């Protein structure tokens, strides 16, 4: 392959940089003749910290500036945490590559308590996710759930300053920044079903950049890609956004994919759950089927109340 240069667009947070540097290192190892640079950008999602994502425009706030860099030619590809990539990504953009998933679970982090069950009534728990909040409220209705925004270091700093008794974070992010020792408990997927794509990285390119598809192909993980297709199909069918307490988690065994999903009211008083299994090549169809089952159970009323149309 002829020597050339690639530019990766990335958010400037420490975790986002780890993710971009991970892809950078993989590409350099695969193609020693290619120079790979990072373009570090600040996004609206990083800058607005006093309001929840649901109130300021959703997860797309984390990728807009990166997409602009793809459009104007400053970057060739963008690296994202897959759970931050909207499911309705459309032309001229394409989610070209899904990398192997790390630990997809949520992590309980606290300086004073070892488990959620140890928290006293009224203890303040921080989370930025309606999905986590609804599942927490369902299991521990006496806890006080408060918003938690900012990058990973900022969130841990707020915990350490005493603003929260505990916080809930993605285990993968903590591990990637060598902060796994802060995890007091990894929450089972049964107790806290993950977000679609949680723990995986995705690469976004322009659809016109067919030249990048072959180059990026060795980075893709087939199993994680199947899971992502099923999970994102659920979210897409339900109009998934951070305005909806929605979770979707798939697993692959042999040639079979199994998926569990839920939709909840923000207060956790109502949770609808559904699951499905089938051939991996039908991952998206199975995800759509599970989404329809949730709607049939009553999730449509929740979506309507939150002004989201499936």
Active site residues: 84
φ and ψ of 50, to 5 deg: -100, 0
104 contacts: CB under 8 Å, gap ≥ 6: 171, 172, 189, 194, 198, 199, 200, 249
DSSP per residue, 227-271: HHHHHHHHHHHTT-STTS-EEEEEEEETTEEEEEEEEE-TTSS-E
CA dihedral sign, ordered 196, 202, 207, 212: negative
CB atoms within 10 A of CB 161: 8
Tell me the three state secondary structure of residue 125. Answer: strand
| Residue 259 and residue 290 in contact, taking contact as beta carbons nearer than 8 Å | yes
Task: Give the whole-angstrom CA distance, residue 284 versus residue 249.
Answer: 13
DSSP structural state of residue 75: -
CA–CA separation, 285 and 97 (whole Å): 20
The two beta strands, 4-11 and 77-81, are: parallel
């Amino acid at each position: 392959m002829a020597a050339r240069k690639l530019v990766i667009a990335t958010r400037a947070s420490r975790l986002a940089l780890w993710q971009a540097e991970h892809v950078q290192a993989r590409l350099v190892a695969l193609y020693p003749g290619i120079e790979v640079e990072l373009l570090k950008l600040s996004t609206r999602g990083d800058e607005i910290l006093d309001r929840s994502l649901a109130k300021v425009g959703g997860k797309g706030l984390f990728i807009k500036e990166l997409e602009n860099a793809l459009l104007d030619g400053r970057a060739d590809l963008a690296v994202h945490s897959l759970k931050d990539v909207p499911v309705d990504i459309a032309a001229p953009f394409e989610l070209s590559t899904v990398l192997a998933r790390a630990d997809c679970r949520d992590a309980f982090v606290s300086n004073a308590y070892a488990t959620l069950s140890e928290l006293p009534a009224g203890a303040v728990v921080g989370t930025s996710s309606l999905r986590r909040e609804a599942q927490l409220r369902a299991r521990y209705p006496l806890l006080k759930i408060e918003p938690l925004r900012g990058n990973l270091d900022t969130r841990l700093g707020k915990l350490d300053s005493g603003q929260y008794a505990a916080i809930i974070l993605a285990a993968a992010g903590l591990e990637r920044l060598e902060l796994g020792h802060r995890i007091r408990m990894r929450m089972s997927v049964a107790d806290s079903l993950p977000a679609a794509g949680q723990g995986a990285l995705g690469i976004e390119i322009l659809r016109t950049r067919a030249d990048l598809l072959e180059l990026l192909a060795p980075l893709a993980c087939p199993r994680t890609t199947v899971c992502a297709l099923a999970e994102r199909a659920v979210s897409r069918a339900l109009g998934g956004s951070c305005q909806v307490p929605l979770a979707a988690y798939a697993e692959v065994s042999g040639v079979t994919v199994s998926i569990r999903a839920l939709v909840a009211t923000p207060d956790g008083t109502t949770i609808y759950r559904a699951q499905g299994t089938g051939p991996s090549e039908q991952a998206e169809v199975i995800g759509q089927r599970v989404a329809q089952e949730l709607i049939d159970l009553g999730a449509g009323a929740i979506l309507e109340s939150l002004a989201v149309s499936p």
